[in-house]
Structure formats: C-alpha cells, structure tokens
Structure 1
Amino acid sequence: METSYSIQTGVTKTLGVVDFVVFGSTLSVALFIGIYYAIQSRHRQDPSDFLVAGRSMGILPVSLSLIVTFLSALTLLGMPAEIYNYNTMFWWLALGMVLAVAGAAYLFNPVFYNMGITSVYEYLEMRFGRAVTMLASLNWLFQTIVYLSFVLYAPSLALKSVTGMELWVSILTVGGLVTLYTSMGGMKAVLWADSFQAVLILVGLLSAFIQGTIVTDGLKNAWEIASEHSRVYFDDFSVNPTTRHSFWSVAVGGGMMWMSYYAVNQCQIQRLLACPTLRKAQIAIWINALGLAAIVSLCCLIGVVMYAFYKDCHPLRYNLISSTDELLPLFVMDILGHLPGLPGIFLSCIFSGSLSSLSSGINALSAVVLQDYIRPFTSVTNLQATIITKCTAACFGFLCIGLAFVASTLGNVLQISYAILSTLDGPLFGIFILGMFFPRANKWGALFGYISGLLFLSWLGIGAYMYDVNTPMSHFSVHGCNWNVTNSTAPISATSPANNTELTKGDDHLGIYRLSYLYYTATGAFVNVVVGIIVSLITGYGKPVTTDPKLISPVINTIFPCLPKKLKKKFSYTAVETEPHPDIHILEQVPDKKMSTGVFL
C-alpha cells in the first residue's frame, strides 16, 4: 500500500466532497426529525408531550437514547486517547456502568417513576422543601450547562483537525442545528434522533476499529505491540485512593459517578419517564447497560489499535495535532482517508455523540425551569407552558454555544469534564441518597450536608489545581517519523504503566489533593450523607418525624421488617399514609391504619 500516512509524510489528510455530503446528510436527518415532530404536535398544547413524549414511548428508542445521552464526543474522543496515553485500566469502567445501572434501576428509579413527576427536583420539594430544592436545581443547571459546553466543543475540535474549518464556524453550525431541532420537536424528536445517532456511532466506531486492525496486521498483533509498551494493563488492584486509575477507582468510583447519572440526573430520568410503565423503563435501562459496555469496550480496543499504529511516531511531538483529543480524528483520516465516504461517516459518529447529549441536556434544562422555577410561582396554561419550554430550550442552546468557546481554552476534555462534573455531582447525589434511604433526615441535614460536600470537593479540586497534581503519561517514541525532521529524542521503552498520581509541585502538602478524580462523586455524596445524618439527629432529636413512604426507596421497606425490635423502636419514624401504588410497599402499619412506621438507617 502506498505510504501516505501523516507519520510518513508530515501532512494530515482532509475530508473530500463525498465525505462532506455524507456528513451533511446525517445532520439533515436529525433536523428533519425535529421538523416532523414539530409539525405533528403543532395542535397539542400539553407540555408533557414536549418534555416526556406523553409517557408513551417504546423500549427501543428510550434505551438507545439512554446510551448516547452521556456517551458524547467527550467519551468517543477521550477514551481511545486515554488508552493511548496511559493504559487499559479505564476499561474497567464498563463493569462500573453495569453496577451503576443495577443500582439506579431498583433503588432510585422506582421512586421517581411512581410519583408521576417531570422534574427530579419536585421530589426534593416534597422531601426537604423549597430551599434545598432551589440549591440543588441551581447546582444541576450550572453543572449541565458546563458539561454541554464541553460536549459542543469536543466534536468541533474533531472537525477542525480533519477539515481545517475554523473552530467558531463548527461550534455555531452544530450548536445552532441541535438547538433548532430540540426546541421544535421536543422529547419525541430527541428520542428518535438519538436512536438514529446511536446507529451512526456504532457504524463509525466499527469502521475505525475494523480498518485499524487491518492496517496493524490484526488485533492480535496490535494487542501484543500495546502490551509490550505497557498499554495493556488490567491488574492494578491498589486500594490507595490516590491511584488515578485502579480497579477500585474505575469500577467503584467511576461506577458511583455513573450511578448518579442514571439514578438522579434529570437528563436520564426524563427519558425513563417517557416509558408507559416502570417495568418497561427498567428493561430500557438494562438494554442501555449492555450497549454502554459494548461501546466502551469498542473505544478501548480502538485505543489499543491506535497506539500500535503510532507506536514509533507520536503525532503530538511534531505538531501533526495540537492535543491528544485530536488523535482519533487523525487516526481515522490516516487509515480511512483513501475510502471516500467513510471519514464522513466517522465524523457523523463523533457529532452524533454530542448532538444526542446536547439535545437531551437542553430538553432537560427546559423541563427543570418550567417545573421548578415557573409553575411554583405563577399559574400558566398548557399553551403558555409549551411556549415557555420551547423558548427556554432555545435560550439554553445559545448559552451553551457561547460557553463552548471557553471550553476550547482548556486541556484534556475527558478528565477535566469528569472532574468538574464530579465536584458538583457528588453533593447533589448525596441529597437524594439522604432523602431516599434515611427517612429521619430533615431539611437542615440535607442543607448542611450539601453545603459541606460542595465545599469539601471544591477545596480538593482547587488544591489539586493549585499544586499541579498530575499523572505522567506513558512513554512515546518518535523514531518512526519519516519526513524531514531532526529526531533528537531517543526512544524510551516503558517498563511499567503510568497510573499512579504524582505531585509535580508541593510534595510536602496534604496528600488528600492526590485523590483520584473518579472518587469525587462518591466522596461528595459520603460527606453529604454523614453531615446530613449528624445534623438531622441534632436538629430533630426528640421530635416526631413524618415522611411520606412514597418518597423512600422500596429497599428500605424490605429491610425494615428484618431489623431487631430495639433498632425499630430507636430509629422509627411516622409517615402519613397515602394511597399506595402497586409498585411501592407501604411501611409497617400501626393499629389505627392512619400512620405507618419506618426506620432511619
């Protein structure tokens, strides 16, 4: 085969006319779906049709939408680059995702579904009151807007690296498109567009993986090459929390992070609420788990193959690319650039990941604004509510476009986005854990627990940044770069995987700053719950506690009868009994049948 790879010529390939046609066609499909559902629903004035698709969607579109909502270009670009830069320890995240889905499906989701709510923060309103609800929802609004700005920036970076198109043109084009079809078509457009984009993601990744194995003489050969250079590494079972990626930090810490997405995040819960029954919602989330594990595995395999391809010429060393997040687009153009249309399909794959996340996030943002910031304070008709949600969706879309330019000034998009999200998400997750699993917890416990968790994680994050905590990458070679440059750097053979966090500054400072970013969610939730329990006990000592059993996780109702009588008596609470739902078992009844008792665990 003719030697025309970038590492042999020093020149990167760009998309051809056919690729642009393919790319444009796939974007047009998403726009068409939005227009179709906007026309179809033009006479419907119920905002629930726009926000939760009338709670009538089937399992397949919901499960596909769940897969791609948080599987954005951040993951599609960042995960192969993670394997290339470090090693395969991150692959354990597939297991963490399955565990996360199991916890979300049976511990958290039944509570939201059986309440018939639209915003998850309506739960907090009923459980802890308005002050806690406002703090939590503002946290989520800020967190989601920041996340979506990264999501929009990442595929624009990919487009720039393979087309030379200016970053601002790409951000405006893609951001404008997703804002248009989301604000017009609502949840049905989002779900069906996500389903189409899920197929594109699979086709694009498979194309890169199959062709990558061909040019590296098979997966076995690529695996051996990566293994020789310490990229294949699975057996770090260190319990040291400062280890950046160990089995425990990735599977457990990462699993807790993903459980927060599927258990209490508005974007995912809103999709589950589009199913007509709880059973169908749980089936959809399990199908999603299998899809997530498959795509994560495929991304990691692409990372292995990509390293084998560039083993002797690190593209970043001679400015073939400006960031490791551009590695995958460069790789695709190297191996697929001679096949018209396939690079266009891959680019569609990357953009599909971000379009799905953006549309889901924008739709969820409009739902929270309507349910938590408009309806509690003023009466609106269904027509007014529908108009408000569409206008709000458009406004959030344009805001994300602006913030995407800020994201372009930062570095590693995968780790930075995970660190920021975890800092904000951990304390938020802790509030829901406190509410659903600790019936005697009160609003003061939730409030002080949340503030404590947020302050603690912010301190950790700022400290890690100020003291420049980082992990050295695995070693690279540049002796295979075959164009006219001076290769003065001798190749270094890595003898051990780069995985442990090291301090480049301030080694004499507290080691807590070295905590793996994947533990941030679990740490924030833990601090929230511990402080929340203590404050609740102090402020509620000797006072009767009333809690609606529908606001408590069903698992508590199962555990309570098994506890010793002394614990029941000590930690019991009273709960005003409401009309029971068939999927929620009311806690043990007292003789007058007007009250029920539960336990503070």
Structure 2
Amino acid sequence: MAFRESRERTFWAADYAVFAALFVVCSGIGIFFAVKERKRATSQEFLVGGRQMSCGPVALSLTASFMSAVTILGTPADVYRFGGGFIFFGIAFLFVVIFSAEVFVPVFYRSGITSTYEYLEQRFSKGVRMAATLIYMVQTILYTGIVVYAPALALNQVTGFHLWGSVFATGIVCTFYCTLGGLKAVVWTDTFQMGVMVVGFLAVLIQGCSLAGGVQEVWQTAQQGSRLDILDFDPDPLRRHTFWTVSIGGTFTWLGIYGVNQSTIQRCISCKSERHAKMALYLNLLGLLVIIFCAVMSGLIMYAFYAQCDPWSAGLVEASDQLMPYFVMEILEDYPGLPGLFVACAFSGTLSTVAASINALATVTYEDFVKQYCDLTDKAGTWVSKGLCVVFGVVCTTMAVAASFMGGIVQAALSIHGMCGGPMLGLFSLGILFPCTNTKGAAGGLVLGITLSFWAGIGAFIYPALDSKTRPLPLTTGGCTAQNSSTVNTTVPPLTSQTTSLRPLLADYWYSMSYLYYSAVGYIATVAGGLLITWLTGSVAEEVKPWLIRPVCDLCCFWSEEYKRMCWCGVDHKEDSLDLVHSEERPPDHEMDPVGPGERYDLQKTSYINAEFIKDIHL
C-alpha cells in the first residue's frame, strides 16, 4: 500500500488527554498505597508487600514488566524486517515458566530470603553474593536505560516532543509512585498498565488489518514477502533467528530473567504462599503468549501495509525502531485519542519495567549492602529504602542517554540480558542443581561465564555481523510517491575485500554468533567451569542445607534411590527435610534457625511452618 502524502503528524487534544491520564492514574496508585500503608511502614512491607500478595496481580505485573516498550516497539519492527520467527519465543516462554516454577522459585521461597542473592551467601559465601549483586545491578541499569529511551523515541517521532524531556518525564513518574507506594504500588500499576498495553495493541491490530485489506490479504502479502518462512531448522549458530536460536537461545535468555532475576523473584516471594507464587508464573505465561502474538501480528500487518513503500528505505524514519509509531500515526490519525492510546501503551510497558527495576535495585542494595553494615530500625529502613528508590530512579533515567547508541532496541536489550543473565543462571544452577559445587567452583565458573559471554557480546558490538545470514529480508520503495523517491536507499553496500581485511578472523565466527546464544554460552561456561574447579578442589556438599538445593535427579522421578543419594552427594534428602519451609506467619526478621540433616521443626512450637504446603508435599 502506498503512502499518503508525507506530512508532519501530531497529537490531537484527545491524544494528550489519554496520554496524561496514564501518568495521573499511575501516580494516584502510588499515593493511594502510601496513605493506606502508612501505619505499617516497615522495610519488608515496602520491599516485598508484607508477603501477602495474591497470584492474579503478581502474574499481570510480571507480564507487564518484561513485555516492555522494547516488545511493543521493537518486536513488530523486527518481524517487519526479518520475518515472523519471533513467534517461537512462545516455546521458550513455556520452558522458562515450567523451570522457574518447579525448580527455582520453590527454593527461593522456602529460603525465606528478600534479596535473591541472599541465597548465594547461604549456599556459598558472602564474596560470591556481592559479586552477583554487582553484576545484577549493572545488567538492570543498562537494560532499564534502553526501556526508558525506547518510548521517548516513539513520542519524539510521532509528536515532535523533545526526546530527553520525555525521558526525564518517564523517570520522574516511575520514581514518584515507586518511592511512595513500594512493591504494592508497582504490582497494581503494572496490572493497570497491562490492560492499557492490550487495548493499545488491539486498536492497532483492528485498524491496521482493515486498512491493509483484511486478514487474508495480510497473510498473502506476508507469504509473498517471505515473512512467514519461519520453519527454519538450520542448526547454524550464526543464523540470527531460526527455530533453534529462538527456542533454545531464547529459553536460556529468558530463564536468566525469570528464573533467578531479582525483579521476578521479589514478586514471587511476595505471594502469600508458594502455591500462589507458582500460579502467578503459570498465569503469567498466558499473558506472555498474548503479548508476543499481538506484537508479531502487528509486524506482519505493518509489512502488508508498507509492502510497496518501505518508510525506512524511503528516508521517512531515521531508525527501524521508529517504524511502529510511524505506522500508528499513519493508520490512526483520523481517530483522535487512539494515537495517544498507543503511545500510552508503549509508556505503560516502560513504566512497569522501570518501576520494577527501581524497586528491585533498591531491595538488593538495602539487603545486600546497607543491612550488612548498618543496624537500622524498621522506620529508618523504610526511609533508606525510599531514598534508594530515588537514587536508582535518577541513575536509570540518565542511563537512557547511553541507550541511544546501542542500535536496535530488541537486540540490545536481549544481548544485555544474555551476557549477564546466562552466567547468573549458571551460578544459581550450580548452587541449586549440583550439591557437590563448592565456593571456589561457583566463583571460578562465574568469572569464566562472564568473560566468555561479554567477549562474544562486546566483540559483536565492535564488529557487527556482515554475513547475509544476519541481514534483513528485502524491502521495496517502488510504490512511494515521487516526492519521496529521491531519498530511496534500498540496497545494502556489498562487502569488499578492503572491508573484510580489517576484520579479525573471530569476527566472522565467534562475534557473528546469534545474540540469543550469549546466554547459553555464559550458562554452559559457568556450569562446566564450576563443576571442573569443584572436582579439582574437592566437594564440600555434606555442609549444604537440604532446603537450599533441588538436584537434577529430583526432576526425574523414575530414578532409583541409589542414584538420588549419589546426586545429592551425601546431603540428606529424606522427606522430613522438605518440612523446613516458611509460610505466611514468618518471624519478624524472616530468618530460619539452622537445622541439621534429617532434623524436623516441631509444628506445635514453630508457628511459621507452612502446614498446608507440607500436606501438599506428602500427598
């Protein structure tokens, strides 16, 4: 479909009203919880919601936080350029949720922790805990910078607002309601924002499909443009998106986000029972599938609409990440309020992600650093936590400046998660799945995993892949108006001997690996290196408390008792050891007295044992 005459498109008054309403509602939720919870102002209430959250809001919060503006703006543009292979992330999400719910979350929930990295001190040492915390903080600040920058770029493209003014407005609102209301405000604003995201997508899908000629026309055009050639089973790791890179690489990448990431685990352990925590993850899977389906369909509809005149090649947008907001203004400009709804949709994803990140960063800083060196009262701890929210709000907002130099937002965001998340996933896997792992193995494996994943990721940033395996599918400007034809640039400069001679040999192999494999590389290197160093230095598994591990043999119920004892490496794995669980009625300090293997808490004397959960285990 050819363009209408190119002209500047701006918001109507109704668009501004819809957009402003988003910020007003989010700020209002923060104020509501600040007033409601003022008499229960403790650091635990502020950071983990008193551990009384139910599964529904937490599920919606999880979906909204990780389906950010990176997904809303970046995924449709990626599908538009590279095809619909992104849909295979649905397979990755399925495995991610199952492993998170059945392996990682039960261990964290039973440990009674607030910061995920408390587990590492219980399992290994304080040094390993501090190193992991610092890595997480770097990862989260970098990622949050990207998701702040993305919707600001969209707003700048469609309305002409000042780019950095939008960035700072986003950061101020997020910091405001996160600081006032704590985790409860974050969860409930996420719930509201999830609804805004779905409605915004529906507006684009319905109107876009109608203008593109209907569902059948969209499908045929996508097929003709090779956007539906997604059944690519080529095992070549240099291919950017194939079935294997998306399903396998995507599983490792997103498991590093869902399985061990503080932002996710913090909301899971805020649930009032382990059953609610698991249910939140499974309900969240439905939300993930809905959002990824909407994003992929938006990309296909956008391709069908612009099949004869690519706005990027025609010079009407400056970057691929501006395609989606340009498309929205093209199809919704005659409906005042709807463009504002979509931009509110993009900002909803950002607000939820940034607020969750700020809250998580404040939590790990307070638990892993402040509490280690300062003995604070509950009131002082609450004020320190609020102050940390303000600090990290400023840091994450200013980090958006660096995001403007990172290229495509989807690849940049997932690359950061892969480079940091893979080694972190490997570290926690060493602790949970392999009882034999010692502290030296954990530390050495983490160093090796971080080194290899950053080597691949930074090398790819310096030497971008030039091979045709990573290039976008063909686009055309044949249907553009004469006014725009002079700016058409549809060809990619061919590789020359001079270009390739300046690139190191690794650039065409190691650095050209699909960005989705960074996490897998980091994970495998961390686990393999950790087990090798443990074998060389000697296992100390008999000192591990049974509630801190869930060996791989537990996932294979058909294994014999002999094999289970072997995999538990001398740690008592009798059913009684599973009774060491925390429940809704935890002691004020949320700590557990050490219990030796085979010993059992007296349920009559210990009120915070989750009797209901123990009954479920026995059944």
TM-score relative to the length of structure 2: 0.88
**Equivalent position amino acid for 1:51 in 2:** L
* CA deviations over 1:151-206 (Å, ceiling 9, x no partner): 10001001001110111110111111111110111011111100000000000000
Compared with structure 1, are the counterparts of its residues 49 and 473 closer, same or farther at alpha carbon in structure 2 (3 Å cutoff)?
same
Distance 1:592 1:181 in 2: 45
Distance 1:180 1:593 in 2: 48
Aligned to 1:407: 403
Compared with structure 1, are the counterparts of its residues 567 and 382 closer, same or farther at alpha carbon in structure 2 (3 Å cutoff)?
closer
Aligned to 1:587: none
Distance 1:368 1:358 in 2: 15
Q: What displacement does 1:115 show?
A: 1.4
Distance 1:135 1:85 in 2: 39
Compared with structure 1, are the counterparts of its residues 267 and 480 closer, same or farther at alpha carbon in structure 2 (3 Å cutoff)?
same
Pick aligned residue for 1:329 from 325, 335, 339: 325
Distance 2:50 2:564 in 1: 44
Aligned to 1:513: 511
Aligned 8 A contact 1:467 1:503 in 2 = no
Compared with structure 1, are the counterparts of its residues 350 and 583 closer, same or farther at alpha carbon in structure 2 (3 Å cutoff)?
farther
Compared with structure 1, are the counterparts of its residues 547 and 468 closer, same or farther at alpha carbon in structure 2 (3 Å cutoff)?
same
* CA deviations over 1:280-336 (Å, ceiling 9, x no partner): 111111110011011101110010000011111111123321111011111111111
Aligned to 2:340: 344
Aligned to 1:479: 478
Distance 1:504 1:343 in 2: 48
Compared with structure 1, are the counterparts of its residues 565 and 406 closer, same or farther at alpha carbon in structure 2 (3 Å cutoff)?
closer
Aligned 8 A contact 1:548 1:576 in 2 = no
Aligned to 2:605: none
**Equivalent position amino acid for 1:480 in 2:** G
> Secondary structure of 1:264's partner?
coil
Distance 1:52 1:490 in 2: 52
Compared with structure 1, are the counterparts of its residues 311 and 123 closer, same or farther at alpha carbon in structure 2 (3 Å cutoff)?
same
Q: What displacement does 1:248 show?
A: 1.0
**Match runs of 1:71-470 below 5 Å:** 71-470=67-466
Name the Cα RMSD after superposition: 2.5
Distance 1:137 1:488 in 2: 48
* CA deviations over 1:561-587 (Å, ceiling 9, x no partner): 934748846973246999844487xxx
Aligned to 2:524: 526
Q: Unmatched 5+ residue regions in structure 1?
A: 493-501, 585-590, 596-601
Compared with structure 1, are the counterparts of its residues 592 and 154 closer, same or farther at alpha carbon in structure 2 (3 Å cutoff)?
closer
TM-score relative to the length of structure 1: 0.91
1:9 aligns with 2:5: yes
**Equivalent position amino acid for 1:527 in 2:** A
Distance 1:230 1:592 in 2: 59
Distance 1:53 1:566 in 2: 41
Q: What displacement does 1:244 show?
A: 1.0
Compared with structure 1, are the counterparts of its residues 196 and 74 closer, same or farther at alpha carbon in structure 2 (3 Å cutoff)?
same
Work out the number of aligned pairs and report it: 576
Distance 1:592 1:68 in 2: 41
Compared with structure 1, are the counterparts of its residues 119 and 98 closer, same or farther at alpha carbon in structure 2 (3 Å cutoff)?
same
Aligned 8 A contact 2:463 2:503 in 1 = yes
Distance 1:421 1:86 in 2: 21
Aligned 8 A contact 1:227 1:233 in 2 = yes
* CA deviations over 1:212-243 (Å, ceiling 9, x no partner): 01001101101111110111122101112111
Deviates more, 1:367-376 or 1:510-519: 510-519
Distance 2:536 2:558 in 1: 26
Compared with structure 1, are the counterparts of its residues 306 and 540 closer, same or farther at alpha carbon in structure 2 (3 Å cutoff)?
same
Distance 1:374 1:383 in 2: 14
Q: What displacement does 1:421 show?
A: 2.0
Pick aligned residue for 1:573 from 550, 565, 570: 570
Deviates more, 1:553-562 or 1:424-433: 553-562
Compared with structure 1, are the counterparts of its residues 593 and 514 closer, same or farther at alpha carbon in structure 2 (3 Å cutoff)?
same
Q: What displacement does 1:467 show?
A: 2.9
Aligned 8 A contact 1:479 1:491 in 2 = no
Q: What displacement does 1:483 show?
A: 4.4
Compared with structure 1, are the counterparts of its residues 271 and 544 closer, same or farther at alpha carbon in structure 2 (3 Å cutoff)?
closer
* CA deviations over 1:72-108 (Å, ceiling 9, x no partner): 1011101000110111111101121111101110011
**Equivalent position amino acid for 1:573 in 2:** G
**Equivalent position amino acid for 2:355 in 1:** S
Compared with structure 1, are the counterparts of its residues 239 and 505 closer, same or farther at alpha carbon in structure 2 (3 Å cutoff)?
farther
Q: What displacement does 1:275 show?
A: 1.1
**Equivalent position amino acid for 2:480 in 1:** C
Compared with structure 1, are the counterparts of its residues 87 and 593 closer, same or farther at alpha carbon in structure 2 (3 Å cutoff)?
closer
Pick aligned residue for 1:539 from 537, 541, 556: 537
Q: What displacement does 1:410 show?
A: 2.9
Distance 2:197 2:106 in 1: 30
Distance 1:255 1:486 in 2: 43
Distance 1:558 1:482 in 2: 61
Q: What displacement does 1:538 show?
A: 1.1
> Secondary structure of 1:340's partner?
coil
Aligned to 2:546: 549
Distance 2:222 2:567 in 1: 58
Aligned 8 A contact 2:572 2:598 in 1 = no
Distance 1:113 1:338 in 2: 51
> Secondary structure of 2:570's partner?
strand
Distance 1:139 1:23 in 2: 35
Aligned 8 A contact 2:15 2:341 in 1 = yes
Distance 1:570 1:100 in 2: 23
Compared with structure 1, are the counterparts of its residues 282 and 168 closer, same or farther at alpha carbon in structure 2 (3 Å cutoff)?
same
* CA deviations over 1:352-400 (Å, ceiling 9, x no partner): 0000000111001111011100112221111111111100011100111
Percent identical among aligned pairs is 36
Compared with structure 1, are the counterparts of its residues 593 and 361 closer, same or farther at alpha carbon in structure 2 (3 Å cutoff)?
closer
**Equivalent position amino acid for 1:252 in 2:** I
* CA deviations over 1:527-569 (Å, ceiling 9, x no partner): 000000010111116x673110100027544659934748846
Compared with structure 1, are the counterparts of its residues 475 and 583 closer, same or farther at alpha carbon in structure 2 (3 Å cutoff)?
farther
Compared with structure 1, are the counterparts of its residues 75 and 504 closer, same or farther at alpha carbon in structure 2 (3 Å cutoff)?
farther
Q: What displacement does 1:465 show?
A: 2.9
Aligned 8 A contact 1:244 1:516 in 2 = yes
Deviates more, 1:234-243 or 1:356-365: 234-243
Q: What displacement does 1:148 show?
A: 0.6
> Secondary structure of 2:77's partner?
helix
Q: What displacement does 1:481 show?
A: 1.4
Q: Unmatched 5+ residue regions in structure 2?
A: 492-498, 582-595, 601-619
**Equivalent position amino acid for 1:333 in 2:** M
Aligned 8 A contact 2:64 2:353 in 1 = yes
Compared with structure 1, are the counterparts of its residues 514 and 593 closer, same or farther at alpha carbon in structure 2 (3 Å cutoff)?
same
